[in-house]
Amino acid sequence: MTSSSSQHTQSIATFLEQFFAQLQKLPREDTSALTIEYDPLWPSECYVYDDTPKEGDLCHWKIVKQDQQDMFDRLSDALDTQIHPDIIEFYTSYWSNHLPATTTDGDLELIQAWNQEDMERLRANLLGQALDKRKRKLALSFFFAVTTSEDGMLCIDNSTGEVWYEIPGKKPVRKIAASLSDFLQTLTPR
């Protein structure tokens, strides 16, 4: 990967932090994205409460800085390939609920991991996507967002770092941005 890729990765964590801050500033009626039903069987450092809520109670949440993750080292070993640093930075900066956003092309959700168990599910899904791409002889890419109006997803091309719109099981449909950092700069919270 080039040094410009590492410059992009530093701005990805900063973007996520700034994006969450913008999400918090939305008018109160627009902040349903900042509440989640409390589930004691799905723990997370992201829950915000004074007294422990009951199961099903609406609870506020916030992003929480992650500690060091080996998830992508294990994914890289399983695939016997280097994983693009932008996707690593995107998924290992913060614990978070999915982040709703809007672009000129429509609405989407940035996929995030809520807790360590969710990170393991994510690893299994990314591995499954990679193996399916190998089977279909398609370029390796990893999803990071889902669109809300179609069955598509946004993926990072593992070799170039470009952002592409893809439909699962098919060739990439169209290039969206030259890098994840460039793409993230176009988003507004929803």
CATH number of the domain that residue 174 is part of: 3.40.1580.20
Helix axis angle, 3-24 to 85-92, nearest 10°: 30
Per-residue model confidence (pLDDT) at position 31: 56
Distance of alpha carbon 147 from alpha carbon 111, whole angstroms = 11
Task: Report the predicted TM-score, pTM, of the whole model to 2 decimal places.
Answer: 0.88
Count of helices and strands (H, E) across the chain:
5, 12
Mean pLDDT by 10 residues, the chain (190 residues): 41 89 74 85 93 91 89 94 95 94 91 95 95 94 89 94 92 94 91
Count of structural domains within the chain: 1
Whole-number pLDDT of residue 5? 42
Task: Show the domain range for 76.
Answer: 3-189
Is the distance from CB of 76 to CB of 83 less than 8 angstroms? yes
Given phi > 0 = left and psi -120 to 50 = alpha, else beta, which region is 56? left
User: How high is the pLDDT of residue 155?
Assistant: 97
